[in-house]
Structure formats: structure tokens, C-alpha cells
Structure 1
Amino acid sequence: MAHLLLIDALNLIRRLYAVQERPYLPLPDEVAESTKQQIIVNTAAMLRQALQRLVQELKPSHALLVFDGRDSVWRKTLYPPYKANRKPMPAILADALPKLQLEALELGISSIQRDEFEADDMIASAASRAAQHGQTVTIVSTDKGFLPLLSSGVHIYDTFARQYLTEPMVQQKFGVPSHQLVRYWSLVGDNTNNVPGVAGIGPKGAHDLMALGATLTDALEHPDCPKKLKEKILQHKEQIKIFMHILSLKTDVQLGLNLQQMRLNHAAV
């Protein structure tokens, strides 16, 4: 059975780059050209080591580095503040991405980028499709946005902590199962994506509400639903719908790749 490794490329690469950039902050773009080149050489070496370790430890049969598209704007169109708190990619790193992709390709790991899609949606689509065909999938990322995909066939691995993220860990951290996370974050907020949630509803209120029904509609119709909580939800109903939409990952993106094109050349690694 195939084991597909889907790597959230910039989630991995930006953290590796940050280690090399740190000594030159706050103005890394103003360092000498030779220093810039050394930062990238070091980042490339760290990326190679990280990818080799992933292959050796997780033993996938297939792997893919997935990069964010440059023109994925549908979430910002729905909600302009989406990810507005994110720092832009450093220019040194942005210019070096083709080199880093080649570094991965030398290890037999292909890369993909589709201008109109975020990496998250491409990864979710590839993971869902592979799992439907009975293949094992491991998503490599520290982004909690992938947690709703957790299932018997889809695993999530934090390469920096060197551990799998599991359903009990989700329950312990958020107080809800993975399949309810999007609804939970829509209520309490998600700082990662600059989603504020509903004012006045914290984790306790969200937990109380979600315990009353499988959907918000069910919860609001429950006789034990507190009146004030119900009023807040109804006042922000349309906003919650938008939050749930932008926090949900697409699973229908067509990547234009087949499994054979993602097969690992273990000799190269």
C-alpha cells in the first residue's frame, strides 16, 4: 500500500530559513550579497537534512512538496482581514525558492505550486483523494489548520517536535474532536488566520454550545441553549458562516498529478 508524504513546503522552509536569518535581524536584506548567498546555502543544507530525515523516519513510498500559490485570493475576497497579520516572506528567501525546489528534486521529491490555490487546499485535496483510495497519507506541518483532516488514513506529523499529532492531543488542547475544530475556531477565533470569532464567546461558551448539538442550528434549537448565547450567535450568524467557510479546507482541487509522478526515488535520498 502506498504511503504518501505531503509536505507543507513554506511551513517547513520558512522555519529553517529563520534560523539562518536570525543573526542578521532586523535588516537581513541589507547584508552583503555573499552573506545572503551563505544564508541560502545553509538553508538548503538544512532542508536536505530535514527531508532525508523525514524519508528515513516515516518511510513513505511517495512524497510531494506543496507551495502556496501567488494569486490565491478567494478567502481574502470573502474576508479581507484574512491572514493580514502574517509577515511577508523575506525577499532573500522568495528569490531562493527555485533553488530550494531543485534541492528537493535532487532527493527525488517533486514540488507543486498552483497560482490560484493555497498549499493547504492542495494538500487537503491530495490527502482526501489518496485516503479514499485506501492509501496512507502523512501531512508534514505545524499548521493546526490541517487537524480537521485527521482520520484513520490521514496522519499529521510535526517534524520539529518529531511527533505525530493525534486525536487525544486535539481533544486535550481544544476540548473538541478534530471534526468540530472549524466550528470551534469560528466561535472563539483563530489568531493564525486573523479570524476574531464572536465577541463574548470564549472556550467555555463554545464548548457548552457545541455540546447541545451536532450543528449550530441543532444547538440553538436545544431547549437548554442559554438565551444570551443564542442571541450572540444569531446576531453574528452570517459572520460565523464566513469564518467556517474560510477555515474549511478545499478537498476538490485538481492537482494534475498522478501517484506515479510522486513516487520517491529512494536511491536519491
Structure 2
Amino acid sequence: MSIHLVIIDALNLIRRVHSAQPDPTDIARTITTTQRTLTRILSEANPTHIIAVFDHHEQDRGWRAETLPDYKQNRKPMPLPLLQGLDAIQQAWWEQGIDSLLSEGDEADDLVATLATKVASHGEKVTIVSTDKGYCQLLSPTLQIRDYFQHRWLDEPFIEKEFGVKPSQLADYWGLTGISSSQVPGVPGIGPKAAKEILTQFESIEAAYASEDLVPKYRKKLDEHIESARLCKRVAALKCDIELGFNLQDIRFLGPNKAE
């Protein structure tokens, strides 16, 4: 039997649904709306296996903040009514047949990346449902990313148009440009155009740094800020070696009210 694993970036979906509600304290409405959303996702994707991955507590910014202390420092805290309603949301999703994986100390991104690449490496189909372009570095022939809210695939042509690099170069790209929304600084003076130029000529930051062919204006910037580039690339790169503690059989989709 062929496998199709769907991984829901849970807080990515929930926050967007909640922010669109007229009354932010009406968590029951948020629950109902997310359930309708998941019903559509299930209908469109027809998964054999599915799981929703939730991030760790908002107060803990994870290992990336240990590498870059300003990482996501300005992230808005989750609204209290929504935070208090997460257990009810997870229960409602379980009743639809979708179990939840709660990260502890690891970012949900890394858990998603580990599970997705592990399954895709065996030639099985994986769909990550998220608006987060960070997952695009994982793209492969059997691994795809669906932006449900924009009704689009975040695929290789999208990455080429959006960034001008290959999916496998995205961590290097963000190592150079930084990620302003997450307070990842990158290399001062290197923006998207320069990063695209560098990564068109060279495969990676390290290849550019090691080459005598790097143009002087970029050579000076990398010589001065290579450690920042390396740190920012490390933060931008998703970990794919997290201990998961379960197997695919545990997240097989059996329909609503599945038996434990």
C-alpha cells in the first residue's frame, strides 16, 4: 500500500484561523472553523497517515535562541484565550482522527522536518500543510508543501520566482540575507539580489567564501561577517535528526473517533 503522510503545522493553521475570528475570546468558533478546515484538507489530500505538530511553549524559544539570543525576540505572544483553548482544540482534532505531537525543547519545525524527510526518503509521499516558506528547503520529488490559505503549492518554481535559488540553497540564502521576521541578521549589506547573485555562481556560503573568484564587494562583506553568515545559516536550516518516539503505524488515519 502506498503511503501519503500529511503533516499539519498546527499553530501556523490555528493562529491564522483565530486571527480571522470577529471575537478572539470565542474559542468554540475557532475550534469549529479549524475542524472545517481540516475536513477540507482531508478531502483534498486523502491521507493514509496524518499528524498535527504543535510547537513548545511560547516562553521557550528553543535552541535557536541559544545560538542567536535575539531570535524571535519580538514574536507576539499567543493570545491568552487561545493558549487556554489549545487542549480543547487538540481534543476536537483527535475526534476527527488527527492526533497531536507536542514538541518539548525542540521547535515544531524540526520535528516536522525530521518526520517528513524520514518518510520521503523511502519514496513515500509527504505533504506539509503550512504557510511557512522555511519548509521549502525540504522539497524533494515526494515531499511537497501546501499553503492552504493561499491555495497554492510552495514548490520549486515558486522558490525560483520568490528567491531565485534552489530549495537546497535556502538555508544559505537566509544565512546571507537574514530573516527579519525572526530577528536573524544575516550579513550586513547583502540583500536578496546579492544573495541570489552569489548563490547562482556558487553552491553555498562556504563555496563562495573559499573561492578566489568571489567579487571584491562580496569578499569584503563575507570576510568581515563569515561567522554571522554561518550562525544564521545554522539557525535557518531545519534539523532532520530529532528523536520522534513513534512510528507511522501510530499515526495511521482511521477516520473520526479512531480507537486507541
The bucket for the TM-score relative to the shorter chain is: over 0.9
- Within the candidate set 13, 30, 45, 1:58 is matched to 45
CA drift at 1:89:
0.4
The TM-score with structure 2 as length reference comes to 0.93
Which string of whole-angstrom CA distances, capped at 9 and with x for unpartnered residues, describes residues 206-239 of structure 1?
Answer: 1222223222232234443211210110111111
Give the 3-state SS of the residue equivalent to 2:228 in structure 1. helix
Aligned to 2:241: 252
Aligned to 1:133: 122
Q: Aligned equivalents of 1:80 and 1:72: distance in 2?
A: 9
Aligned to 1:166: 155
Say if 2:196 is the partner of 1:196. no
Q: Structure 1: 5+ residue runs without aligned partners?
A: 29-35
Aligned to 1:240: 229
Write the mapping of 1:78-93 to structure 2, written as runs, cut at 5 A. 78-93=67-82
Aligned to 1:148: 137
Aligned to 2:7: 6
Paired residues of 1:124 and 1:250 also in contact (CA < 8 A): yes
Q: Aligned equivalents of 2:256 and 2:196: distance in 1?
A: 50
Paired AA for residue 16 in structure 1 = V
Q: Structure 2: 5+ residue runs without aligned partners?
A: none
Aligned to 1:176: 165
Change (3 A) 1:65 1:177: same
CA drift at 1:9:
0.2
Which string of whole-angstrom CA distances, capped at 9 and with x for unpartnered residues, describes residues 92-134 of structure 1?
Answer: 0000000000010000000010211111000000001111222
Aligned to 1:104: 93
Q: Aligned equivalents of 1:196 and 1:227: distance in 2?
A: 22
Aligned to 1:48: 35
Change (3 A) 1:80 1:87: same
Q: What is the CA RMSD across the aligned residues, in angstroms?
A: 1.6
Which string of whole-angstrom CA distances, capped at 9 and with x for unpartnered residues, describes residues 221-266 of structure 1?
Answer: 4443211210110111111111011111110111111111111123
Aligned to 1:186: 175
Paired AA for residue 60 in structure 1 = P
Aligned to 1:19: 20
Change (3 A) 1:72 1:194: closer
Paired residues of 1:72 and 1:115 also in contact (CA < 8 A): no
The TM-score with structure 1 as length reference comes to 0.90
CA drift at 1:85:
2.0
Name which of structure 1's ranges 251-260 and 202-211 shifts more when overlaid on structure 2. Answer: 202-211
Q: Aligned equivalents of 2:213 and 2:104: distance in 1?
A: 47
Q: Aligned equivalents of 2:257 and 2:44: distance in 1?
A: 16
Which string of whole-angstrom CA distances, capped at 9 and with x for unpartnered residues, describes residues 154-194 of structure 1?
Answer: 10001111222110111011011111111111111212322
Q: Aligned equivalents of 2:241 and 2:184: distance in 1?
A: 24
Q: Percent identity?
A: 41
